[in-house]
Structure 1
Amino acid sequence: MNKEKAVVVFSGGQDSTTCLFWAKEKFKEVIAVSFDYNQKHKIELECAKDICKKHNVEYHVLDLNLLNQLAPNSLTRQDISVDKDAPKEGPPNSFVDGRNLLFLTFAAIFAKQRGINAIITGVSQSDFSGYPDCRDVFIKSLNVTLNLAMDYQFEILTPLMWINKAETWKMAYDLGAIDTVKEETLTCYNGIKGNGCGECPACKLRKNGYLEFKRQYLK
């Protein structure tokens, strides 16, 4: 296996940016891949591009507009508001059916063409927001499926899988990336850079994690 190169599934948000810097520590060459599915918070692609340019990371955007057509929800439709609170049952209305399945599959195709085995994604089962495609069992299952489908040895790496948001902030801090994550990323479902709108679930999770990080680690 090629241990020197990696592809990062990169949205320009907190988690994927932390993973990007983690990858830069672990691999000699890192390529970032984003996906345009006409998401409501499409400005994230500009954030991703800017971060990669600033830190000398090769960057690509792949077209997945079909996902928007197939999966109408609060991240793909202007007339559907993001739920402020988690539902009592089922995933939130910000869950895009098949998104991580498709992202990782297309990232794997991209990686194989370049002789790259490692694919890095920022999913977390500890802070998975009710998204079934952020679970470890899904990642492991897909890893096996991709290997069989392409007769190629992929390794999907998930540095954030078992850590919470406070620990993710700590990782960014240890990597020297906390200012980039705080100021240059876009996590907000309503498309507001940095601290975001403060109201959507992603912003609340990010803020609470940061406050807990400061309480635990910046004494």
Structure 2
Amino acid sequence: MNHEKAIVVFSGGQDSTTCLFWAKERFNEVIAVSFDYNQKHKLELECAGDICKKYGVEHHTLDLGLLNQLAPNSLTRTDISVDTDSPEEGVPNSFVDGRNMLFLAFVAVFAKQRGINHIITGVSQSDFSGYPDCRDVFIKSLNVTLNLSMDYQFEIHTPLMWIDKAQTWKMANDLGVLDVIKEETLTCYNAIKGNGCGDCPACKLRKNGYLEFKKFYMHGA
């Protein structure tokens, strides 16, 4: 157990909730920070708050409404439908320009005010859905930039960076929170908790990962 404090960028979805419990096992105190960027489904924020309350994690929600104004996309606008398949060129319309950069920058400011050096985020280069701000090179670059910009030593942890969804399910199982992730998280782009709608890209990725996890790590259980 590391006796330092850590902050988790927290959405209440599968990946960030797995990271939350990963952090709770490794750090003496964990704080979760969520963002309200006028996403379509406020249930995401409610879900994040419920998980933190249930498992005794201090939770803060920061207002980032400007992101909606700057970067219209299918996660913030009701008149834009989420891409069901990856486009042949460019990024999916569920990608929010600058989101992870801004999330991590604001969390870093928050962390410094609290004397916290460790930041955890659930981005993954293995299952990054074509999002450029989930790549390891971006995280490492931003880590250096944040350190320089505030003359402070941040360390951004990415427990999921090099693992796929099946291995993320395995991590949850190893942490003893498989049922929590299955039933209490919200990954679905249509705001349905647990198994979700089953049709959106997030649900398909989650379901396929779970089936692989059962096949390769649970011996078909």
- Paired residue for 1:148? 148
Give TM-score scaled by structure 2 length: 0.97
Moved over 2 A (4+): none
**How far off is 1:190 after superposition?**
1.2
Higher RCO, 1 vs 2 (CA within 8 Å, ≥6 residues apart): 1
- In structure 2, what is the equivalent of residue 67 of structure 1? 67
Deviation at 1:180, TM superposition (A): 0.7
Q: Which residue identity does 1:161 align to in structure 2? A: M
User: Would you say 1:51 and 2:55 are equivalent positions?
Assistant: no
2:166 is the alignment partner of 1:170: no
Equivalent residues in 2 for 1:69-88, closer than 5 Å: 69-88=69-88
d(CA) in 2 for partners of 1:81, 1:198: 16
- Give structure 1 stretches of 5+ with no counterpart: none
Q: Distance in 1 between matches of 2:191 and 2:41?
A: 4
Write the distance in 1 (CA, Å) between the matches of 2:146 and 2:193.
34
3-state secondary structure, aligned to 1:213: helix
Shift of 1:41: 2.5
- 1:77-116 C-alpha deviation (Å, 9 max, x unpaired): 0010001001011110000000000000000000000000
User: Percent of pairs identical after alignment?
Assistant: 83
Distance 1:204 1:27 in 2: 32
> 1:17 maps to which residue?
17
Provide the residue aligned with 2:215 in structure 1. Answer: 215
The C-alpha deviation readout for 1:21-46, integer Å capped at 9, x for no partner, is 00000000000000000101221111
Q: In 2, Cα distance between the equivalents of 1:8 and 1:56?
A: 14
Partner SS, residue 147 of structure 2: helix
Counterpart code for 1:212: E
Instruction: List gaps (5 residues or longer) in structure 2.
Output: none
- The alignment's TM-score, normalised by the length of structure 1, stands at 0.98
The answer to whether 1:101 aligns with 2:101 is yes
Aligned residues: CA RMSD: 0.8
C-alpha displacement of 1:118: 0.3
- 2:159 corresponds in structure 1 to 159
